[in-house]
């Protein structure tokens, strides 16, 4: 992992830690507010900051998260989920499939025999990443407290990623030409996992949402030997819109 990436990740984690502590404090405060919520809107919108953290490939991405949902019941929401984010990673041989590792080894051996491999040379190719996620489905909601709604959901959808290698020398250019002849690689695949969070009701129609998802996918399976676990954390405002369904569907 590059030093700038470490700094960005460390800084973001400090912010997330503070937000999680704030969330815990608000949750503890909310348990003193007895009584179920008297207003549950038909529709709900969320827009906020998000990050995706995939430690297996040392990829950390910052971006934007949007959600839109409808509440057929006070305890159930159905919705659409979209996020877009970007970041950087470093491609190293241990991440590649055995077949690609073998080909890379033969290439380096050939260069060494020809005297074209610098002493102590290691393969590390910086890459930029652009990721989009698309998901939809149910969300279970617990509205026992007046000021906070807790929720859980399955996380199932499609992840689309564009990786653009940034070779820094002649050898890494040769490697990129073999791995990604067009100069970039694009892939889409299914992901699955689970998520949840809390909505803090500031007013009847506006509040703060804090949420996280843990999912698994195997993007670029033709090049990368392993799948990866990704954590997505999001925070931002939500908006309750529409008529009150609490009285009809309690």
Q: What is the pLDDT of residue 34?
A: 58
For the chain, report the end-to-end CA distance as a whole number of angstroms: 51
Report the domain count for the chain. Answer: 1
Helix ranges, 114-169 (H) = none
The 10 Å Cβ neighbour count of residue 130 is 17
Tell me the two tokens of residue 134. 């698309």
Look at the chain and count its residues. 250
Residue numbers of the domain that contains 173:
3-249
Q: What is the pLDDT of residues 108-143, one digit of tens each?
A: 999 999 889 998 899 999 999 999 999 999 999 999
Percentages of the chain per state (helix, strand, coil), in multiples of 5: 25, 50, 25
Segment among 21-25, 49-53, 106-110, 141-145 with least mean pLDDT: 21-25
- What does pTM read for this prediction? 0.85
Phi-psi region of 145 (alpha: psi -120 to 50; beta: other; left: phi over 0): beta
Question: Taking residues 81-107, what's their average pLDDT?
Answer: 95
CATH number for position 109: 2.40.160.20
Q: What is the pLDDT of residues 155-201, one digit of tens each?
A: 999 999 999 999 999 999 999 999 999 999 999 999 999 999 999 99
């Amino acid at each position: 992992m590059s030093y700038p990436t470490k700094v960005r990740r460390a800084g973001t984690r400090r912010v997330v830690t503070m937000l999680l502590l704030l969330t815990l404090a608000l949750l503890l405060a909310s348990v003193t507010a007895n009584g179920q919520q008297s207003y549950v809107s038909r529709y709900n919108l969320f827009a906020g900051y998000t990050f995706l953290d995939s430690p297996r490939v040392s990829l950390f991405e910052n971006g934007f998260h949007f959600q839109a949902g409808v509440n057929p019941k006070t305890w159930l929401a159905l919705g659409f989920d979209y996020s877009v984010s970007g970041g950087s990673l470093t491609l190293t041989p241990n991440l590649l499939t055995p077949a690609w590792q073998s080909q890379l080894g033969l290439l380096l051996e050939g260069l060494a025999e020809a005297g074209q491999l610098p002493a102590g040379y290691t393969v590390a190719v910086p890459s930029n990443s652009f990721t989009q996620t698309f998901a939809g489905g149910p969300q279970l909601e617990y509205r026992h407290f007046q000021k906070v709604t807790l929720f859980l959901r399955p996380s199932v959808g499609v992840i689309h990623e564009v990786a653009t290698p940034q070779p820094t020398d002649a050898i890494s250019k040769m490697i990129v030409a073999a791995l990604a002849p067009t100069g970039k690689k694009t892939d889409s695949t299914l992901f699955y996992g689970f998520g949840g969070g809390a909505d803090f009701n500031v007013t009847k129609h506006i509040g703060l949402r804090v949420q996280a998802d843990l999912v698994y996918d195997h993007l670029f399976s033709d090049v990368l030997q392993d799948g990866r676990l990704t954590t997505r954390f999001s925070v931002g405002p939500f908006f309750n819109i529409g008529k009150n369904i609490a009285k009809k569907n309690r």
